[in-house]
């Protein structure tokens, strides 16, 4: 990503975040219950923490920060249980460029309550900072 503010868009910020999560995902062992550096996960939330650990530091040199710690506060109304037992939670936060909102970020977190490993890696979507795209559970 370029450091030129005029080239920062919600899409470029979202792609940068997704790229980071994908890089961290490659550090998971095939079982999905531990990382290549020996970190063992006790539940699916530990994996999400691992995947996002260090993101703020990675984006700080670009002037990007978040209104809430990434991936954002859990909003329980956003958890949807699918018929196959998979759950989907949406975490929302706002990405700021030098303190000004640049994107609303939604992180879809897929998990199951009967296993530690994730059935699907998190998906990051970015919207214009003034767009509330489904944030109220729509």
Query: What is the pLDDT at residue 99?
Result: 94
Pick from 10-14, 70-74, 83-87: least confident: 70-74
Residue 72: pLDDT band by 50, 70, 90 thresholds?
confident
- What's the average model confidence in pLDDT over 8-30? 96
Q: Between the CA of residue 135 and those of 38, 54, 73, 91, 128, what are the distances in Å? A: 36, 25, 12, 9, 13
Query: What is the pLDDT at residue 80?
Result: 85
Model confidence over 79-88: pLDDT tens digits? 888 888 899 9
Query: What is the pLDDT at residue 129?
Result: 93
Query: What is the pLDDT at residue 92?
Result: 92
Query: What is the pLDDT at residue 138?
Result: 42
Model confidence over 94-130: pLDDT tens digits? 999 999 999 999 999 999 989 999 999 999 999 999 8
Per-residue 3-state assignment (H helix, E strand, C coil) for the chain = CCCCHHHCCHHHHHHHHHHHHHHHHCCECCCCCEECCCCECCCHHHHHHHHHCCHHHHHHHHCEEECCCCCCCECHHHCEECCCCEEEEEEEEEEEECCEEEEEEEEEEEEECCCCCCCCCCEEEEECCCCCCCCCCC
Model confidence over 31-64: pLDDT tens digits? 999 999 999 999 999 999 999 999 999 999 999 9
Domains of the chain, residue spans: 5-127
């Amino acid at each position: 990503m370029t450091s030129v503010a005029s080239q920062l868009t919600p899409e470029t910020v979202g792609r940068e975040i997704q790229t980071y999560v994908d890089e961290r995902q490659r550090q998971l062992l095939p079982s999905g219950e531990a990382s290549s550096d020996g970190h063992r996960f006790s539940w699916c939330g530990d994996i999400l923490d691992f995947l996002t650990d260090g993101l703020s530091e990675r984006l700080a040199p670009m002037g990007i920060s978040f209104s809430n710690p990434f991936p954002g506060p859990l909003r329980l109304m956003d958890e949807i249980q699918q018929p196959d037992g998979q759950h989907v939670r949406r975490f929302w936060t706002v990405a700021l460029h030098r303190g000004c909102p640049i994107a609303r970020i939604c992180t879809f977190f897929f998990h199951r309550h009967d296993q530690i490993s994730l059935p699907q890696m998190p998906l990051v979507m970015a919207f214009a900072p003034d767009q509330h795209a489904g944030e109220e559970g729509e």
